[in-house]
Amino acid sequence: MAVISVAPLAAEKMREYMRARGKQDKALRIWLKSLSRMTYGMAFDDCRPGDVRVECDGFTVVLDPVSATCFQGARLVWVETAGGGRGFALEMPAAPAVPADRPAARASPVSPGAHGGSGAGWGPDAGDVSSKEARRRSTEAAAGRWPSES
């Protein structure tokens, strides 16, 4: 089983989103922002040595090794809320894998905001995190220096 899967509608919307922003040459990086609330971030970035790569339907998802462990079995979906919000979100499996040296987290589905908090999703209605910021966050997560809660 792949680390992360992508729903067909999410794949279609991601290809459109990347094309509209000229990001076809980038990968979608997903990183763990906070283990205590299982929040995460998403940004377009380059693939780096050590990344876990998942080839999707027309684009690539990359995760640092720690994030890949925590998001094992997650699914990228496209969500549209009754209030008009729309964007990308991760559906988490019932019990996410947690690295042995980290405390257990409550398992619940989460939706990222523009910078990985909770919200309607990440996409057309949200801002992008810069590639430099995505690399910094991913590197901190991989090194075990978890960013503090915002």
Model confidence at 7: pLDDT above 60: yes
Q: What local confidence, expressed as pLDDT, does residue 81 receive?
A: 87
Region 86-94 average pLDDT: 86
Q: Looking at the domain assignment, is residue 150 inside a domain?
A: no
Q: Looking at the domain assignment, is residue 116 inside a domain?
A: yes
Q: Looking at the domain assignment, is residue 148 inside a domain?
A: no
Q: What local confidence, expressed as pLDDT, does residue 85 receive?
A: 87
Q: Which domain holds residue 55?
A: 4-142
Model confidence at 116: pLDDT above 50: no
Outline where DSSP puts E strands in 37-93: 39-45, 52-55, 60-63, 74-80, 86-91
Model confidence at 35: pLDDT above 60: yes
Q: What local confidence, expressed as pLDDT, does residue 102 receive?
A: 52
Q: Looking at the domain assignment, is residue 149 inside a domain?
A: no
Of 82 and 63, more confident: 63
The CATH number of residue 13's host domain is: 2.60.300.12
Region 47-64 average pLDDT: 93
Read out DSSP for 112-127? Answer: B-TTSSBSS-BSTTSP
| Nearest-angstrom CA–CA distance, 1 and 12 | 21
Mean pLDDT of the chain: 73
**Closest by Cα among 60, 110, 64, 68 to 89:** 110
**DSSP tag of 143:** T
Q: What local confidence, expressed as pLDDT, does residue 63 receive?
A: 95
Domain count for the chain: 1
| Nearest-angstrom CA–CA distance, 66 and 82 | 34
